[in-house]
Amino acid sequence: MRVGVLALQGAFREHLLMLGSLGVDTCKVTKSEHLAGLDALILPGGESTAMVRIAAGTGLFATLREHMAGGLPVFGTCAGLILLADRLSDDSLGGYDRLGGLDVTVARNAYGRQRESFTTPLTVHGLDEPVEGTFIRAPQILELGPDTEVLARHDDVPVLVRQGSIWGASFHPELGTDGRIHAEFLHHLGAAV
C-alpha cells in the first residue's frame, strides 16, 4: 500500500510520519505525476488559501479530481477538508479552484482563532476508546449530504465524516502519536495495518 500526502503547504510531515509509523509506504505529492500508482491520498491541515494559490495553474487539482472520479480514496484534515468540501459558507477562497468531492458545507475558521485552539476527547465510530481531537482554526461542518456518514461529533456537530472512500476531519488526527484514525481510514480501504 502506498499513500501520498499533498505537500504544497501545512502539516504534511506529520501525516508522513504517522503513516510511516503504521508501516505504510508514503510519498509527497506536489505535482500531477506524483498521483500515479497511489492507493490513497491525504490532504493535510495548514492554510487552504496558501494551498489553492500554490496549486493554481499547475493542473494538480484537475488531475486529482480525475483520480478521485476513478476511485482514489482521499482523506482531508482541517484545511484538507476545506479543499474537499463541495460548498463553503463564504467565498473567502475567491475564485481559486478547490477539489470538491465531499458532499458537505463547511465554514472556515468557525471554531475561532489560533488562541482559541483546543483539544477534546472524541468518540469515533469503530474505535473502543476516544481519541484526543486537536482543533486549530478549524473549519466547521454545517450541512451534510444524504450519503455522508458521520463518524464522530463534537457538541453534536459532525467533525469526522465519510462519503464512500472520501473522508474529512475538521481536527488534526496527525498530531500526537495516536494513529488509530489513519488506521481506520486504511482499514476501510482493505489495508492490513
Q: 2-6 and 40-43: which strand pairing?
A: parallel
Q: Which of 98, 108, 154, 182 binds ligand GLN (CB under 6 A)?
A: 108
Q: How far apart are the C-alpha atoms of 27 and 5, rounded to whole Å?
A: 6
Q: Quick one: residue 94, left, alpha or beta (phi over 0 = left, psi -120 to 50 = alpha)?
A: left
79 is a contact residue toward ligand GLN (CB under 6 A) = yes
What's the grid cell of residue 93?
477562497
109 is a contact residue toward ligand GLN (CB under 6 A) = yes
Active site residue 172: yes
Of these residues, 78, 154, 182, 184, which one is catalytic? 78
Q: Is 93 exposed, middle or buried (0-12, 13-18, 19+ CB in 10 A)?
A: middle
Interaction with ligand GLN in 14-53: which residues (CB under 6 A)?
A: 45-48
CB 36 within 8 A of CB 74: no
Number of residues that bind ligand GLN (CB under 6 A): 11
Q: How far apart are the C-alpha atoms of 35 and 179, rounded to whole Å?
A: 23
Of these residues, 14, 15, 174, 182, which one is catalytic? 174
Active site residue 78: yes
The DSSP secondary-structure symbol of 56 reads T
Query: Least Å distance between CB 126 and ligand GLN?
Result: 24
Active site residue 47: no
Of these residues, 15, 172, 182, 184, which one is catalytic? 172
8 is a contact residue toward ligand GLN (CB under 6 A) = no
Which residues contact ligand GLN by CB under 6 A?
Answer: 45-48, 78-79, 82, 108-109, 136-137
Q: Which residues are annotated as catalytic?
A: 78, 172, 174
